[in-house]
Amino acid sequence: MQSSTLKRLLTGLSFLFIFSLSLNAQQGNAENGKKLFNTHCAACHKLDKRFVGPPLKGITKTKEREWLHLWIKDNASLIKSGDKEANAIFEEYNKIPMTPFPQLSETDIDDILAYTDDNPVGGANAAVQVDPALAAKGKGLFQTHCAACHKLEGKLVGPGLGNVSDKRSKEWLHAWIKDNAALRSTGDKDAIAIFEEYNKIPMTAFPQLSEEDIDAILAYTTAGMIKPAETTSTEAAEIPVATTKPLSTAWISYTLVLVLFIILLWLLLYSKNGFLKISAVILVLLVSAYVLFDNLMGVGLDQGYQPIQPIAFSHKIHAGDNKIDCEYCHSSAKNSKTSGIPSVNVCMNCHKSISEYTGKVASAEEKAFYDNEIHKIYDAIGWDPEKAAYIENYQVKPIKWNRIHNLPDFVYYNHSQHVTVAGQKCQTCHGPVEEMDEVYQYSPLTMRWCIDCHKETEVDLKGNDYYAKIHEQLAKERGLEKVTIADLGGKECGKCHY
């Protein structure tokens, strides 16, 4: 991953080099023009598409430069002067007058026009100037300082920060990040506007960040926006899975059974040895009784049960890859009888900011699949990921999970007893859940399985004052140091059946 990013960045850098060469030939500074465009024009204009106003790409080719200067500075007077072109545009765009920009200098306008003339659409490659090492450092800083409230794309608590350096000047950003309150108090209009827009929730000040750190963060906000080049090669998917089928041993047993069966048949039909015949019959009866018994004992056993769940929730991704503690979601396991299936609001603790899957995927379809599963949570609770807000008066749709581990009603099982008191790992009974994409019933959950564990597991009598007296009695009077659960009555019927 990293090396490929590096590669892409290097390619990008070489492109930039070629670009910068060609840029120099242009009138005006497209670099500055881009910033100006983003702050002044982008609200109504796009480069390649009609928006509020017309698309501006290559505008100098259709309109005179002088005319453009005039129009931008004060289009109203231009229209009034009876300029045909101006009036035509005015009519075409439903008589919505464009904001005049008298504050823009000639050079500013030239810069903007330079940008509209030959810029790359979408500005994807604008980031190539970013130093990868700096961006990497910035990523770390972003995660620790900013990610609680900001994403690159889309609003969270604060605005999305992708390509923020395109919208604001470096100096402004530095000042804002270090102490936005101070910036606001200077009467900076932009700063106040942002403050108002985000419901007057002030942003944390970061005086501790050095200039270099902020540069790094800004570098990341640009670099992070580079979409991984869409690799058409479905490399991972197309590599034939190198599976060597394990040599099956089943055929040996089948042959054996067949041979035995033939021998038995022969004995019964053709042999004249009475003893052998009787033995054969007894053998057949015994074997069938065993098979029958074995089958009957399996009735109601659901080991390996792996139902398809309404959401393809992967414990592997959550507990395995992201190492989320089991009890973060199953929080009642330590307090209660039930471990608790997390309610949707628990999912939302993280998934407010994680609206798409960013792990390794083999194909775009796979990512889309995961993203869709995440959106099922939003559907349940009524979260609008675009607006980053809960939908008001939303009719919530509870998620109907399929229960996997199901003890009969006549068994009482308490999670907190095993998790809090006994300190058992979840995996003892539930198996390697962190490796399961879809959870299945790992243990048989039979009474024998419970009892076997109760017979073997030693109880740590020390360190829990409840056992202090029992420990004393056992140690002093009986000379016993080690006791199992069964010794303390863990085998009694009524401890689990009531």
Partner 1 sequence: MASNKKYWKSVEELKKSSSIVEKLKQNEFVEEIPTDKFLGDKENLTASSTSRRDFLKYLGFSTAVASLAACEGPVIKSIPYVVKPDDVTPGTADFYATTMADGFDFANILVKVREGRPIKIEPNKDVSTGITNARVQASVLSLYDENRLKGPKANGKDTTWKKFDAEVVSKLNEIKNAGGKLVFLTNTCASPSIGKLIKTYGEEFGNVQHVVYDSVSESAALDAMKEMYGVRALPDYDFSKADLIVSIGADFLGDWQGGGFAPGYTKGRVPKDGKMSYHVQIESNMSLTGGNADKRIIVKPSGQINALLKLYKAVVNGISTRESSELNTLIDQIVKAGKRAVVVTGIQDKNAQLLALAINKKLQSEALDTVNTRNVRFGNDAKVKQLIADMNAGKVSALFMSNVNPVYSLPASADFKEALKKVKLSVDFTMSNDETAQVSQYVAAIPHFLESWGDVMIKKGQYSLVQPTIKPLFDTRQFQCSLLKWLGKKETFYDFLKSNWNNNILAGKSWNKALHDGVFTKEFEVPEFTSTVDVNAAAKELASIKGGKLELSVYTKAGLGDGQQANNPWLQELPDPITRTSWDNYLLISRVDAERLGLKNWTVDNGALNGDKVNISANGVSIKDIPVYIQPGQAPGSVALALGYGRTGLQKEMNVGVNAYPFADKFFHDIKIVKSPGEHEFACVQLQHTIMGREGEITRETTLAEYISKPKEEWNPKPVYSLDHQEVTEDKVDLWDKFDDSIGTKFNMSIDLATCTGCAACVVACHAENNVPVVGKHEIRVSRDMHWLRIDRYYSSDMTVEKGKEEGTFGTGEYFDEMTHPSDAPEVSFQPVMCQHCNHAPCETVCPVAATSHGRQGQNMMAYNRCIGTRYCANNCPYKVRRFNWFKYFNNDEFDYNMNNDLGRMVLNPDVVVRSRGVMEKCSLCIQKTQATILTAKKEGRPVRDGEFETACSSACPSNAIVFGDINDKSTEVSKKEEDDRTFRLLEFVGTKPNVFYHLKVKNKKEA
**Residue 87 is a binding residue for partner 1 (CB under 8 A):** no
**Residue 494 is a binding residue for partner 1 (CB under 8 A):** yes
**Residue 342 is a binding residue for partner 1 (CB under 8 A):** yes
- Quote the CA–CA distance of 431 and 453 in Å, as a whole number: 15
Choose the stretch contacting partner 1; rule: CB under 8 A; options: 44-52, 55-63, 131-139, 488-496: 488-496
Measured in Å, how far apart are the chain's first and last C-alpha atoms?
Answer: 56
Question: From residue 442, how far is each of 49, 377, 399 by CA, in Å?
Answer: 57, 26, 23
381 forms beta bridges with: none
Beta carbon of residue 396, minimum distance to partner 1 (angstroms, whole number): 4
Beta carbon of residue 341, minimum distance to partner 1 (angstroms, whole number): 4
Determine contact, residues 34/115, Cβ cutoff 8 Å: yes
Q: Output 60 or 424, the one with its CB closest to partner 1.
A: 424
Beta carbon of residue 19, minimum distance to partner 1 (angstroms, whole number): 52
384 forms beta bridges with: 389
- Quote the CA–CA distance of 194 and 497 in Å, as a whole number: 63
Question: Which residues are CB-neighbours of 41 under 8 A, at least 6 positions away?
Answer: 56, 112
Beta carbon of residue 301, minimum distance to partner 1 (angstroms, whole number): 9
Q: Among residues 327, 339, 308, which one has the least CA distance to residue 440?
A: 308
- Quote the CA–CA distance of 353 and 118 in Å, as a whole number: 36
Instruction: Draw the binding track, 265-304, toward partner 1 (x: CB under 8 A; -: no contact).
Output: -------------------------------x--xx-x--
Contact with partner 1 (CB under 8 A) among 26, 332, 424, 428? 332
**Residue 346 is a binding residue for partner 1 (CB under 8 A):** yes
**Size of interface with partner 1, in residues (CB under 8 A):** 57
Residues in the chain: 498
**Residue 498 is a binding residue for partner 1 (CB under 8 A):** yes
**Cβ neighbours of 411 (radius 10 Å):** 12
**Residue 337 is a binding residue for partner 1 (CB under 8 A):** yes
Contact with partner 1 (CB under 8 A) among 102, 187, 304, 398? 398
Beta carbon of residue 116, minimum distance to partner 1 (angstroms, whole number): 49
- Quote the CA–CA distance of 357 and 256 in Å, as a whole number: 51
Contact with partner 1 (CB under 8 A) among 381, 429, 439, 450? 381
- Quote the CA–CA distance of 268 and 35 in Å, as a whole number: 97
**Residue 338 is a binding residue for partner 1 (CB under 8 A):** yes
Beta carbon of residue 457, minimum distance to partner 1 (angstroms, whole number): 15
Choose the stretch contacting partner 1; rule: CB under 8 A; options: 27-35, 119-127, 229-237, 391-399: 391-399
Residue 287 structure tokens: 């074997």
Beta carbon of residue 319, minimum distance to partner 1 (angstroms, whole number): 18
**Residue 406 is a binding residue for partner 1 (CB under 8 A):** yes
**Can you give 316-380 as a three-state secondary structure string?**
HHHHHHCCCCHHHHCHHHHCCCCCCCCCHHHHHHHHCCCCCCCCCCCCHHHHHHHHHHHHHHHHH
- Quote the CA–CA distance of 166 and 482 in Å, as a whole number: 70
**Residue 343 is a binding residue for partner 1 (CB under 8 A):** yes
Q: Among residues 427, 400, 244, 209, which one has the least CA distance to residue 325?
A: 427
Choose the stretch contacting partner 1; rule: CB under 8 A; options: 215-223, 333-341, 350-358, 450-458: 333-341
**Cβ neighbours of 141 (radius 10 Å):** 17
Contact with partner 1 (CB under 8 A) among 17, 293, 412, 449? 412
Choose the stretch contacting partner 1; rule: CB under 8 A; options: 46-54, 193-201, 232-240, 417-425: 417-425
Residue 75 structure tokens: 């289009």
Beta carbon of residue 419, minimum distance to partner 1 (angstroms, whole number): 10
Task: Name residue 74's amino acid.
Answer: D
Contact with partner 1 (CB under 8 A) among 67, 401, 435, 437? 401
Judged by the rule CB under 8 A, the positions of this chain that interact with partner 1 are 296, 299-300, 302, 305, 307, 332, 335-338, 340-346, 380-381, 396-403, 406, 408-410, 412, 414-417, 420-421, 463-470, 473-474, 488-489, 492-495, 497-498
